[in-house]
A and B are shown apart, each in its own frame.
Chain A
Amino acid sequence: MIPAQFDYVRAESAEEAISLVGQHGDESKFIAGGHSLLPLMKLRLAQPSVLIDIGRLTDLSYIREEGDQIAIGALTRHMDVENSTLLTEHAPLLAHAAGHVGDPQVRHRGTIGGSIAHADPASDLPATTLAMGATYVAQGPNGRREIPAADFYKSFLESDLAADEMLVEIRVPKMTGAGWSFQKFNRRAQDWAIVGVAAWRSNGSSGVGLVNMGSVPILASSVSAALSGGASVSDAAEQATAESDPQSDLNASVEYRKHLAKVLTRRALEQASE
């Protein structure tokens, strides 16, 4: 559990972080909360030669209203997302999901930006923000660009971010008053989901995101399409696995995972319809 040797630089601003990555190249990595990166390094599955610490960029830790969206700085800790009154009012699904990430220690250190940039299909916030139709804001040497969540996740642990780009902001639409549900199925309270479902419904539209149902976070658009077409909740839930391609592991076979996704989607839609 001892990482290989690496150098460490602390960035004082996003611009500096981006230029440091440019300088050090491929072998360097941003470190935010370190709660995904450090475990990989301790197992020597990741061996970056330089860590660029963006953990202290407090100006990127915020949650604020911007028109019909809520903007969240990439360095905002899960705990702050969980406890935000703004989110609780306008996007309670996200606040609630953040409260189910790991345990309190993890939530105090881990950041929403790190979680999304890491692009782990088993993580809670990528699928949740995907279901919500979020927009991610990346900053590179040539300025900022916006990436719709639906275009962001490319393959296992790979996102649309270029090596010298930093995720700076996550924007979610306000869903004031919408029905929502987050179903996280795991064996111990602090574990990653075996399968998770984030869902919302409002005025005939809906969104369903699936956790750990493929190599990327899954948007279950067939479920939403079925609902729009007038299908019952339980019939729509049967469509939950149309977009997914799950793996088997110690906790679940492929068959069981697919079954769980349907059960949990049905439960999520029932709750979101209340």
Chain B
Amino acid sequence: MTVTDNMATSDASIAAGNGVLGQRMLRKEDPALLTGEAIFTNDMKVPGALHLAVLRSPHAHARIASVDVSGALAIDGVHSAYSGADLADAWAGPMPCAWPVTDDMKNPTHFPLAVGKAAYVGDGVACVLATSDAIAHDALEAIDVEYEPLPAVIDLEAALSDDVIIHDDLGTNVSYTWPLLIEENEGDCQKAIDESAFVVTERYIQQRLIPMAMEPRAVVAMPQPFGGDMTLYSATQVPHILKVMTALTLGIPEHQMRVVCPAVGGGFGSKLNVYAEELLCVHLARTLGTPVRWNEDRSENAQATIHGRGQIQDIELAADENGKITGLRVRLIGDMGAYLQLVTPGVPLLGAFLYGGVYEIPKAFDFSCTSVFTTMTPTDAYRGAGRPEATYAIEHAMDALARKMDIDPLELRRRNFIPKDAFPYEAFTGLVYDSGDHDNAATVAEGLLDYGAMRARQAEQNVEGSTKRLGIGVSTYFEMCGLAPSRVLASLNYSAGGWESATVRVLPTSKIQVVTGTAPHGQGHETAWSMIAADKFGVDPADVDVLHSDTAIAPLGLDTYGSRSLPVGGVAIGMACDKVLDKARKIAAHQMEANEEDLGFAGGMFSVSGSPDKEMPLAAIAFEAFTAHNLPDGLEPNLEAQVTYDPPNFSWPFGTHMCAVEVDTETGQVDVLQYVAVDDCGNKVNPLIVDGQVHGGVIQGLAQALYEEARFDDDGNLLSSSLAEYLVPAASDVPPITLGESVTPSPTNALGVKGVGEAGTIGAAPCVMNAVVDALAGLGVPDVQMPASPLNVWNAIQQANKETSQ
């Protein structure tokens, strides 16, 4: 069997075009990726390109007194060098932030190279162009910058105090406060907290995370020889947004900008942005008339590509004597970092609607988020973006409530689940959850973990003096995916829509082209989208080509993030296929002299009911449409249709995760013994890809729970700036993961799909942390700071020992 001979579970019906959807088909993308044939941005051979290197501030907060680039210019091979001030006139506008969440949001002016002040370690202050990357890096050492260091601002509450102001002209470090108060009658939330039988008051810290995509960022800006057109190749997940934003920020007519993404090695949100280096390369290439390229170092990636999470969450959860939730108050402090990047301020808002989890919550909800600037790398969307934080808070608080009530945490959840027959369900927020079956997802997970037996084992194992304590973790979640209905985005002040575009054409030889506005960077859209079209047309997925990630080929699109590509982009493809088939049907009816209503279409063949000898394959229709020799009157030649789909609602994937951990109380080491994930993402186009997304997501969530943390010292230096200190788990650190099945189709789109890109991450961090605390609660440990590193776990145990001995 060859690599391309790729039906993992082969099914004879596939070639006939029936039942392609739902097959575990190996990915079309993989042979090129696995053999190293795929071309990433930095693999491009660009003769004559100048290499950009960026000099970064070693201070978290400093006035830039002077920048002298003359030393760099003296080095052989250096073409030019610039300070921020040298380029101050190059920009038509500052770096873009597309989400002004409130009318009075403070947004510091931010340019690709800092002018006057550097606001985090890694902030670009000067740059060099040279004939090689090595020379450019050598030259950075010859640039002389005089800094006047100022105090760093690392702590979020210290930032709020405004003792040290980072952006002088703003006069405060607070960017905005965004409230969401939902009450039937004024004071309902406070009343619930005052009068309910049980209230838990908790503070959680969402540590900063570094996305660490396998491929760091890379850019090549290529001016076209004539006419002023510019092509920007970038390792981005948002070519369409990037095209508009570079045009606006650099004052380039939009039709002269083209953005292409070669193979892109992961993003997790970190490539959902418009970055300084993209603007620098385009600007310099344009003014110099020569290609300019830049490739990010790993430690540069850790410092100067956005970080994720970074929140302090205060949550008060009230429940009646049976554990039914009666009210919920949440106060957030969001860490924006030094500047607002593309959607930085919107991230906490995306979570605001999910603090109610999968539960029936009355209108007694009081949420508010205050976001502050700090002298650290800007934060922005990172896998789940606001939603994992929210899920963590409610799910961790549910466990605290269960402990307080002394009942089983799964039982407490069951008492609060929105019942299956209540869907579609209008939640307290006014949002409508499309479909769900939480009890089933929980029951499947319960069976896979053998929950009851595991609890029995726990009772036996966690006896006095035991140094290996067992903990069981449960988490459930609802995720707001399929970003997004454009009108809802408008209500949140987001500057763009949430539609997606698809064009489908059947070529004269009956091969099919699908043009999508999504921008895959590891998700397998080429495979999944070709399966959707193959299913519609009754052809082999190998006969469908998916074109994407080049704004000249796919000019319309809103790219890939927020688990949107399938429930928005994939649905658009299905609709475009239907439109093409409608036209094909007209031609078939005309050719076979039959009524359209009498035509059947199956396995790529039109047939006439009642006349078994009359049939015409799609291939013949495609050729007729191309020659246009004999088409119905008034029908345009060719088989092509374009659809722009704006989803009527978010999609709402959900699930239950469970795990068992063993904590070594002598060392603080946490060992995940077993992990069970039941993620319901509606119908699955390709279950193999779904499994991969869940595996990766679970590991990323587990990484937040146990391993990863972007740590800064008091001076604002990033201490975890390499993969030796920033602990991304490797294959050998990952526990066995068992996936359970639950399929509840979404009623809001024709494919019944919900999206799965972020699900695993959302479920995993609370699940693992709940298990860790469950293991240690018997020792008097109330909570453990994430990540539950051996040190943090050991410290928590020592603290509890101290308190019990007092």
Contact = CB atoms under 8 A, between A and B. Distances in A.
Given A185-B667, A256-B794, A1 B707 contact: no
Contacts of A4: 138
A5 interface: yes
A263 interface: yes
A251 B732 contact: no
Interface stretch (A55-63, A189-197, A205-213): A189-197
Nearest to B709: A250
A250 B719 contact: yes
A59 to B, nearest CB: 33
Interface string B709-749: 00100000001101011010110110000000000000000
B724 A250 contact: no
A103 B731 CA distance: 11
A29 B138 CA distance: 21
B791 A256 contact: yes
Interface in A251-266: 251-253, 256, 259-260, 263-264
B301 to A, nearest CB: 10
Contacts of A260: 667
B730 A190 contact: yes
A266 to B, nearest CB: 9
Contacts of B297: 1-2
Contacts of B719: 250
A90 to B, nearest CB: 29
Interface in B66-100: none
A37 to B, nearest CB: 15
Contact of A2 (B134, B729, B733): B134
A194 B669 CA distance: 12
Given A189-B730, A250-B725, A259 B794 contact: yes
Contacts, number: 54
A263 B298 contact: no
B732 A189 contact: yes
Contacts of A188: 707, 727, 729-730, 732-733
A263 B666 contact: yes
Nearest to A103: B730
B791 A251 contact: yes
Contacts of A190: 730, 732
A186 B499 CA distance: 47
A1 B298 contact: yes
A250 B707 contact: no
A38 to B, nearest CB: 13
B790 interface: yes
A103 B668 CA distance: 24
Interface string A97-115: 0000001000000000000
B299 interface: yes
Interface in B737-795: 789-791, 794-795
A256 B795 contact: yes
Contacts of A103: 730
A43 interface: yes
Among B133, B666, B669, residue most surrounded by chain A Cβ atoms (within 10 Å): B666
B790 A194 contact: yes
Interface in A1-44: 1-2, 4-5, 43
Interface in B289-315: 297-299
B137 interface: yes
A251 B720 CA distance: 11
Contact of A250 (B133, B298, B668, B720): B720
Which of the listed residues A253, A260, A264 has the most CB atoms from chain B within 10 Å of its own CB?
A260
A187 B790 contact: yes
A263 B667 contact: yes
Nearest to A255: B798
Contacts of B725: 250
A239 B264 CA distance: 54
A43 B299 contact: yes
Nearest to A251: B791
B468 to A, nearest CB: 13
A4 B139 CA distance: 10
Contacts of B791: 251-253, 256
Contacts of B133: 2
A189 B729 CA distance: 9
Contacts of B790: 185, 187, 194, 251, 256
Contacts of B720: 250
A28 B435 CA distance: 68
A8 to B, nearest CB: 14
Given A1-B299, A2-B133, A256-B794, A187 B789 contact: yes
A191 B138 CA distance: 31
A128 to B, nearest CB: 20
B767 to A, nearest CB: 19
B666 A189 contact: no
B727 A187 contact: yes
A150 B168 CA distance: 58
Contacts of A5: 134, 138
A191 B729 CA distance: 10
Among A2, A189, A190, A252, chain B packs the most CB atoms within 10 A around the CB of: A2
Interface in B693-710: 707
Contacts of A194: 790
Nearest to B132: A2
Interface in B109-138: 133-134, 137-138
A250 B795 contact: no
Contacts of B733: 188-189
A187 B724 CA distance: 11
Q: Taking each of A1, A191, A252, A263, which has the highest tally of chain B beta carbons within 10 Å of its own beta carbon?
A: A1
A184 to B, nearest CB: 12
A189 B711 CA distance: 21
A250 B711 CA distance: 8
A252 B669 CA distance: 12
Interface in A235-274: 250-253, 256, 259-260, 263-264
A190 B707 CA distance: 13
Nearest to B787: A187
Leading 6 A-B pairs by shortest Cβ distance: A189-B732, A1-B297, A2-B137, A263-B666, A188-B733, A2-B134
28 contacts: A1-B297, A1-B298, A1-B299, A2-B134, A2-B137, A2-B297, A43-B299, A43-B722, A185-B667, A185-B669, A187-B789, A188-B707, A188-B729, A188-B732, A188-B733, A189-B730, A189-B732, A190-B730, A191-B727, A194-B790, A250-B719, A251-B789, A251-B790, A252-B791, A253-B791, A256-B790, A256-B794, A260-B667
Interface of A: 1-2, 4-5, 43, 103, 185, 187-192, 194, 250-253, 256, 259-260, 263-264
Given A188-B729, A256-B790, 7 more contacts: A2-B137, A103-B730, A185-B669, A187-B727, A189-B732, A250-B711, A263-B666
